[in-house]
Structure 1
Amino acid sequence: MDDAYRAALDRFEEDLRARRLSPHTVRGYVADLVDLFGFAERAGVAEPTQIGLDVARSWLAETAASGAARATLARRTAAARAWGRQASTPGLVRLVTPKPRSPLPAVLSQRQMTDALTTAADDAATHPHDPLALRDLAILEFLYATAARVSEVCALNLDDVDFTRRTARLSGKGGRDRTVPFGVPAERALHAWLAADARGAVLAAARANGARRAGAAAAAAVGWVGGGGGIQKTETEAVFLGARGSRIDPAVVRRLVHARLRATPNTPDTGPHGFRHTAATHLIEGGADLRDVQELLGHATLATTQIYTHVTAERIKARYAQSHPRA
Structure 2
Amino acid sequence: MDDLPAPLVFHQMETAVELPRPDAATEAAVRRVLGRRRPLHDRETAPVDRLDLLAEALTPELTALVVLWLGGTRRASRDTRIGYADDLLLWADWARRELGRERFGLDLHRGEVTMWLTCQQDAGAAASSVSRRLSTLSSLYRYAAGWGLPVVSPISDDDHRPKFHRGRRATSARVLDADQVAALLAAASDVRDALAVGLLYTGALRVSELCGANDTDRQDEGRRTWLVVTRKGGKSIRIPLETTVAELLDLYRASRPAWTGTGPAPLIADADGDRLDRHDVTRLLRRLARAAGIPRPETIGPHSLRATAITDQKRRGHSAEDLQELSGHADVRTVMIYIDDDGRAERVAALTDDLGRIMTAVPRHLKSPG
- For the pair 1:288 / 2:349, whether they are aligned, the reply is no
8 Å CA contact retained: 1:167, 1:182: yes
**What's 1:237 paired with?**
265
Written as runs of structure 1 = structure 2, the 5 A alignment for 1:172-251 is 172-194=231-253, 196=254, 198-199=255-256, 202-203=257-258, 231-234=260-263, 237-251=265-279
In 2, Cα distance between equivalents of 1:275 and 1:257: 10
Q: Choose 1 or 2 for highest CA Rg.
A: 1
In 2, Cα distance between equivalents of 1:188 and 1:261: 23
Per-residue Cα deviation, 1:216-253 (whole angstroms, up to 9, x for no partner): xxxxxxxxxxxxxx82243x521112222232344443
Q: Partner of 1:241: helix, strand, or coil? A: coil
Q: Partner of 2:292: helix, strand, or coil? A: coil
- For the pair 1:166 / 2:204, whether they are aligned, the reply is no
8 Å CA contact retained: 1:85, 1:93: no
In 1, Cα distance between equivalents of 2:153 and 2:249: 48
- For the pair 1:16 / 2:44, whether they are aligned, the reply is no
Per-residue Cα deviation, 1:13-50 (whole angstroms, up to 9, x for no partner): 43224423425312245347769999xxx9xxxx96xx
User: Would you say how many aligned residue pairs link Structure 1 and Structure 2?
Assistant: 248
Q: Partner of 2:174: helix, strand, or coil? A: coil
- Please give the TM-score of this superposition, normalised by the length of structure 1: 0.60
Range with bigger deviation, 254-263 or 25-34:
25-34
Q: Is the alpha carbon distance of 1:177 and 1:104 closer, same or farther for their aligned partners in structure 2, counting shifts above 3 Å?
A: same
8 Å CA contact retained: 1:160, 1:169: yes
- Please give the TM-score of this superposition, normalised by the length of structure 2: 0.54
Q: Is the alpha carbon distance of 1:94 and 1:250 closer, same or farther for their aligned partners in structure 2, counting shifts above 3 Å?
A: closer
**What's 2:11 paired with?**
4
Could you tell me which amino acid in structure 2 is paired with residue 170 of structure 1? Answer: V
8 Å CA contact retained: 1:151, 1:250: yes
Q: Partner of 1:237: helix, strand, or coil? A: coil
Find 1:61's aligned residue among 110, 114, 127.
114
Q: Is the alpha carbon distance of 1:29 and 1:251 closer, same or farther for their aligned partners in structure 2, counting shifts above 3 Å?
A: closer
Q: CA deviation at 1:59?
A: 5.0
In 2, Cα distance between equivalents of 1:136 and 1:35: 30
8 Å CA contact retained: 2:88, 2:137: no
**What's 2:180 paired with?**
112
Identify, as 1 or 2, the structure richer in strand: 2
Q: Partner of 1:112: helix, strand, or coil? A: helix
Q: Is the alpha carbon distance of 1:253 and 1:75 closer, same or farther for their aligned partners in structure 2, counting shifts above 3 Å?
A: closer
**What's 2:24 paired with?**
none
In 1, Cα distance between equivalents of 2:194 and 2:174: 21
In 2, Cα distance between equivalents of 1:153 and 1:100: 29
In structure 1, runs of 5+ residues without a counterpart are 124-132, 204-229, 303-327
Percent identity, aligned pairs only? 24
**What's 1:25 paired with?**
83
Q: Is the alpha carbon distance of 1:248 and 1:61 closer, same or farther for their aligned partners in structure 2, counting shifts above 3 Å?
A: closer
Question: How much is the aligned-residue C-alpha RMSD, in angstroms?
Answer: 4.0
8 Å CA contact retained: 2:128, 2:164: yes
- For the pair 1:279 / 2:309, whether they are aligned, the reply is yes
In 2, Cα distance between equivalents of 1:80 and 1:262: 34
Q: CA deviation at 1:153?
A: 1.5
In 1, Cα distance between equivalents of 2:220 and 2:295: 31
Could you tell me which amino acid in structure 2 is paired with residue 260 of structure 1? Answer: L
Q: CA deviation at 1:193?
A: 1.7
In structure 2, runs of 5+ residues without a counterpart are 1-8, 13-58, 333-370
Could you tell me which amino acid in structure 1 is paired with residue 247 of structure 2? Answer: R
Q: Partner of 2:229: helix, strand, or coil? A: strand
In 1, Cα distance between equivalents of 2:120 and 2:195: 40
Q: CA deviation at 1:184?
A: 1.6
Q: Partner of 1:166: helix, strand, or coil? A: strand
Q: Partner of 1:243: helix, strand, or coil? A: coil
